[in-house]
Amino acid sequence: MTLRKLGSTGLQIGPLGLGSVNFSWLTDEPKSFEILDAAFERGVNFLDTANNYNAGQTEALIGRWFAQGGGRREKTVLATKVYSRPMEWGSSDPDKRAGMWVGPNQRGLSAKHIREACEASLKRLNTDCIDLYQMHHVDRDTRWEEIWQAMELLVAQGKVLYVGSSNFAGWHIAQANESAARRNFLGLASEQSVYNLMKRTVELEVIPAAQGYGMAFLPYSPLAAGMLGGKPRENEPGRRSFVRQNDAVDAFNALCDGLGQAPADVALAWLASRPGVTAPIVGPRTLAQFEANLAAVEIALSDETLAELDKIFPGPGGPAPEAYAW
């Protein structure tokens, strides 16, 4: 598997990232371990999670997987996130959700929350260091000086190696990196954002900003919450509520039929080939899905196919300002 650098850092990751949002939620622990083991054996070394996935249970599951040894932790580039309150994913019980919310400082990017959230994640993940600690969302109520002071301390203590962002606007990336530069700190190593054929807004400013600052770009939701995964099969009742009637999706499915390729594979192959993309993050529910994801990133789409995809899903028209001005 071809490796690439995480932005301008010296860290090497594979061309695909393994997302864990379904682990301990839609995918039970034994099946989650199967997927994790398959990724480990195939050289998919970038593992992405977050402190609020299933109220922290996903991090804890990963910690138990690391505890099996065999180089699992040492060979994994571990990424998690800070910002949100941990909460019970998939629960309709408001008390169950509210019970995870201890107080008003258990969210955001205050120095207090960053420190406490990092300590809690380290404990759940059964490790002494997070390789990539990502801010899950911009915090408009906290100064960058406070955020970077907290992150610098974690780096100095050896609890965090690199800092990344997620769901940032282009100007947030610029703000964060310029503030870090004034402190002689490395700044953001990566940005993780939603990007797929149906959601191409990041082409305007986010991807150019990441490229301009030498950051990795790690897109998530490559299948647009299942919309680009083809028609749900009989054994996929859970997807039916997500896949709605859409003329563009119908045209996309027809194109894929003509290519003899599964829609999910074409969508992922397109994303992996996009300028500025370092490694798409996939969130498989099953081992079969993960194996299909691995095969999809090796698919080379022709120029003709890429042009057809642009007609079906035109995107914003390129980077700003040319996309809307001259």
Domains of the chain by residue range: 4-312
Taking only the tens place, the pLDDT of each residue in 148-193 is 999 999 999 999 999 999 999 999 999 999 999 999 999 999 999 9
Q: Is 195 a catalytic residue?
A: no
Whether the predicted pLDDT of 43 surpasses 80: yes
Whether the predicted pLDDT of 233 surpasses 80: no
Query: Catalytic pick from 53, 83, 133, 213?
Result: 53
**CATH 3.20.20.100 is the classification of domain 4-312:** yes
Quote the distance between the C-alpha of residue 219 and its chain's center.
Answer: 6
Distance separating alpha carbons of residues 195 and 218, to the nearest angstrom: 9
Does the predicted model carry a pTM greater than 0.75?
A: yes
Burial 54-87 (b: 16+ CB within 10 A, else e): bbbbbbbbbbebbeeeeebbeebbbbbbbbbbbb
Q: What residue type is 66 in one-letter code?
A: F
pLDDT category, 89, cuts 50, 70, 90?
A: very low
